[in-house]
Amino acid sequence: MKQLTIILALLLFANVNAQTDQEVLKTIYTQSLTNGKSYQWLDYLSNSIGGRLSGSENAEKAVQYTKAELEKLGLDKVWLQPVMVPKWVRGDKEEAHFVTNSVINKVNICALGGSIATPQNGLTANVIEVKNFEELETLGVDKIKGKIVFYNRPMQADLIQTFMAYGGCVNQRYAGAMEAIKYGAVGVIVRSMNLRQDDLPHTGSMSYGDIPNSKHIPSAAISTNDADKLSEALKNDSDLQFYFKQNCEQFDDVLSYNVIGEITGTEFPNQFMVVGGHLDSWDLGDGSHDDGAGVVQSMDVLRLLKNSGIRPKHSIRVVLFMNEENGLRGGKKYAEDAKLKNETHVFALESDAGGFTPRGFSFDCSDANFEKVLSWKSLFEPYLIHYFEKGGSGADIGPLKTTSNVLAGLRPDSQRYFDHHHAANDTFDAVNKRELELGAATMTSLIYLFDTYGIDNIPEVNPIKD
């Protein structure tokens, strides 16, 4: 009988707890959808500031704006963390064309981030089209020397998760020049990482690796429509001449900042849970999806926790990382400082996959912690959040990884993401208010659950109980 009473009491307790979590999530989602701030912040960041490439005046404005907004939230601490970042400037002379049957075919082009400029009057050369580095190797110096290498492997349309398709293509952009230089190429153009056929070139970072400056060659992206046109034209005239001009420039590193706000934990103030996105963006659009969305959602997580009457046990930090796009300096700096200060980071969550309808999360963690996450699945069901898988988390929080902590990435619907990614149409009008707010609520809910139930296998560092 006594045993039965205990069992009943436990069941009752479990039920009360479950109900409470349900109620908390309901409050969080309702707050975000009826009284969210994320969309308003994004409006300012996108329309009043604009694209925020590392080292630019806009990036500095974004630092000051988000710091000031965080200060209005009544957090326990708000501060800037200095970090040196690369400064690359696109310039204003981007143009390209190729000539077929005496007709000039204009090409929509943009320099890749980190590329050098062309000569002042542009670069004109024959084009050799390849799908991958293996083809490059097969062709060899004889067929490549003196030419522009044109990487034209499209994103794979039949992959359901578009980030997989991106992963299967992006080496053309990032390492295309590095590889082409080996065979004496004079320039690189790459098909934009875009699943759609349109006229927009998509930029993104590229690297020369260890190759000395004197051997660098200019690199640029062309639109998917132009990639198809050029490929078609090359079939009829493999000797056609391609011309492009860009006057981008790499400057010395400059001082910038990660923006950080904190609600100090009531029980475990020295155990940190981070939620963040990256404040820098590419320069062609206003960076609304990549990653203005992640920035304002992360800011709203702390506001929603406060507004929902949640006093977290762990210290919850919002970190707006600088320089994810072309250096990851902010992410590295934050992790280095955390290590220097011996800060235990038990959990980190990043939103950097667009402000679209959230579908769930992917996790980088132990099986035990993943089981814990799966036990919360039913709590998320009313919000149509169903995707809980092991996998990557986010670039900025990656350096925080230890053997025992939990990293997570918000996974929004990805179908439209690469239509906008790094292109001139990554703009505020492409973000839907409700989708953005659902993402913020979903992130807040996961932070709430990890704060409430902790993670497995972490020593309790300096717990203070009242």
C-beta closer to a copy of itself: residue 51 or 355: 355
Among residues 94, 324, 343, 437, which one is catalytic? 324
C-beta closer to a copy of itself: residue 261 or 360: 360
Q: Secondary structure of the chain: what % helix, strand, coil (to 5)?
A: 40, 25, 35
Distances (CA, A) of 79 to 72, 104, 147, 295: 13, 54, 50, 16
C-beta closer to a copy of itself: residue 144 or 430: 430
Residue carrying structure tokens 């699945």? 377
Burial class of residue 41 (count of CB atoms within 10 Å of its CB; 0-12, 13-18, 19+): buried
Q: What is the largest CA-CA distance in the chain?
A: 96
Q: Contact 356/435 with Cβ under 8 angstroms?
A: yes
Catalytic: 324? yes
> Helix or strand or coil: residue 192?
coil
| Minimum distance of a copy of itself from residue 289's CB (angstroms) | 14
Within 10 angstroms of residue 61's Cβ, the number of other Cβ atoms is: 16
| Minimum distance of a copy of itself from residue 433's CB (angstroms) | 7
Q: Contact 308/27 with Cβ under 8 angstroms?
A: yes
| Minimum distance of a copy of itself from residue 48's CB (angstroms) | 19
Return residues touching a copy of itself (CB under 8 A): 29-30, 33-34, 157-158, 160-162, 195-196, 357, 359, 382-384, 386-387, 413, 415-416, 419, 432-435, 438
Strand order in the sheet with 387-390: 77-89, 249-263, 314-321, 268-278, 344-350, 406-412, 358-364, 387-390
- The separation between CA 405 and the C-alpha centre of its own chain, rounded to angstroms, equals 21
Question: Whole-angstrom Cα distance, residue 180 to residue 218?
Answer: 11
| Minimum distance of a copy of itself from residue 377's CB (angstroms) | 11
C-beta closer to a copy of itself: residue 261 or 354: 354
| Minimum distance of a copy of itself from residue 234's CB (angstroms) | 23
Distances (CA, A) of 91 to 83, 117, 196, 245, 424: 24, 9, 27, 11, 15
| Minimum distance of a copy of itself from residue 389's CB (angstroms) | 10
Residue carrying structure tokens 């790459």? 190
Closest CA to 140 of 169, 175, 180: 180
| Minimum distance of a copy of itself from residue 187's CB (angstroms) | 31
C-beta closer to a copy of itself: residue 199 or 267: 199
C-beta closer to a copy of itself: residue 191 or 314: 191
Task: Tell how strand 344-350 and strand 268-278 pair up.
Answer: parallel
C-beta closer to a copy of itself: residue 29 or 208: 29
Closest CA to 373 of 358, 351, 388: 388
Residues 6+ apart with CB under 8 A from 232: none
- Supply the residues annotated as catalytic: 324
